[in-house]
Amino acid sequence: MDNIYLQKVLEGDVSKFSFFIEKYGDMAFSIAFRIINNREDAEEIVQDSFLKVFKALSKFKRDSKFSTWFYRIVVNNSLSRLKRDKAVSTYVDVDKVSNVVIEKVESVYKGLTHSDQQKFINIALVEMSVEDRLLLTLYYLNENTLEEITEITDIAQENLKMKIHRARKKMFIILEKTLKSEIQNLL
Amino acid sequence: MDSKNVDKLTKDILEKSKLELTNPDFSNILMSKIKSESHKQSILHNIVLYFLTFLSLDAIILALLKLMHIRITDIVPKTTAFTQGIFSNIQNSPSNIGQFLLMYFLIMAIIIFGLNMVSSTRSKYSGI
């Protein structure tokens, strides 16, 4: 489907570019937001990335998916805006995570309202490092494959599985910490 | 809890972190920027195209004249003061060749500008 619209845009039907904005806009926004943690900046980055993609459309070699190419541009734009990881990420000892922690988080989390669930996961994500947030977003939320994530982030594929695994553990530890009061109420 | 279940739980939890562009004008603003970018690109593309067309046409005409051993100065009547002035300037004063080239590019720029105006007006009304 992407290729059909891509061809139409390249043939001069610029209005067909809105297809890509509708399809990838929200996910690009999620990725940019997870890196820079600011709504307005994330929106601006998505706009800039779409414009960049449009200008370079004729140079796009179709050996990878359009989405992978586009998300790579979003990640690069976000990282260059961020310059360096200014966010203070919480130190987490990932070896501490056990099935007990995961099960505790699961039982409390499932008992929360939808808006509370959103609130707690967003608090937890803010406390994580940019890389961890990005990897979890790409792997679990956008369901990118390891190959695609390597292409988007430039992280070697051999390290990727381990990094995602550790990021997942960190998320559970931070969630357990942020949900502590809820857990205590439950006990 | 096995890894598959933890994966599923992680996905369920992260599903709640999904964000959406809430600005209702986002798409419209972006599309208008893209359309104006496309317009700029097409103008630039046309300028290059017209410029190359003019240069190659002139080169072909000069090559044909050379092949047929025709000198412009022989075929253009030197009856008017204006043409006489131009030819004497070109033949007698090499420094005026610079002026001549300047004139040539100036005329070309005016023609290209005119053609661009016509083509962009046409595309504007044909909805491109």
A115 contacts on B by Cβ (under 8 Å): none
A155 and A128 share a domain? Answer: yes
**Whether the predicted model's global pTM rises above the 0.80 cut:** no
pLDDT of residue B79: 65
Task: Check whether B91 has a pLDDT greater than 70.
Answer: no
Of the residues A50, A85, A120, the one at which a domain ends: A85
A177 and A108 share a domain? Answer: yes
Percent of chain A with pLDDT strictly greater than 90: 34
A111 and A137 share a domain? Answer: yes
Whether A49 and chain B come into contact, CB under 8 Å, resolves to: no
A80 and A104 share a domain? Answer: no
Instruction: Give the range among A13-22, A106-115, A149-158, B93-102 with minimum mean pLDDT.
Output: B93-102
B14 contacts on A by Cβ (under 8 Å): 121, 136-137, 140-141
Tally of domains within chain A: 2
- The residue of chain A nearest to residue B21, with distances taken between CA atoms, is A26
How many angstroms away from the CA of A77 is the closest CA of chain B?
Answer: 17
pLDDT of residue A139: 93
Whether B40 and chain A come into contact, CB under 8 Å, resolves to: no
Higher pLDDT, B102 or A89: B102
A131 and A104 share a domain? Answer: yes
- The residue of chain B nearest to residue A45, with distances taken between CA atoms, is B30
Of the residues A52, A85, A118, the one at which a domain ends: A85
A136 contacts on B by Cβ (under 8 Å): 10, 14
Whether B128 and chain A come into contact, CB under 8 Å, resolves to: yes
- The residue of chain B nearest to residue A14, with distances taken between CA atoms, is B35
Report, as an integer, the average pLDDT of A54-67: 87
Residue A140 structural domain? 94-186
A174 and A133 share a domain? Answer: yes
pLDDT of residue B120: 65
How many angstroms away from the CA of B122 is the closest CA of chain A?
Answer: 15
Report, as an integer, the average pLDDT of B65-90: 71
A55 and A103 share a domain? Answer: no
Selecting from A22, A54, A106 the residue whose C-beta is nearest the C-beta of B34 gives A54
Contact between B30 and A102 using a beta-carbon 8 Å cutoff: no
A80 and A43 share a domain? Answer: yes
**A71: domain CATH number?**
1.10.1740.10
Of the residues A85, A115, A143, the one at which a domain ends: A85
One-character DSSP codes across chain A: -HHHHHHHHHTT-GGGGHHHHHHHHHHHHHHHHHHH--HHHHHHHHHHHHHHHHHTGGG--TTS-HHHHHHHHHHHHHHHHH-S--S-PPP--GGG--HHHHHHHHHHHHTS-HHHHHHHHHHHHHHS-HHHHHHHIIIIIS---HHHHHHHH---HHHHHHHHHHHHHHHHHHHHHHTHHHHHHH-
Task: State the complex-level ipTM.
Answer: 0.74
A100 and A180 share a domain? Answer: yes
A122 and A76 share a domain? Answer: no
**A141: domain CATH number?**
1.10.10.10
- What would the pLDDT profile of A95-121 be if each residue is shown by its tens digit? 666 777 788 788 788 888 888 888 888
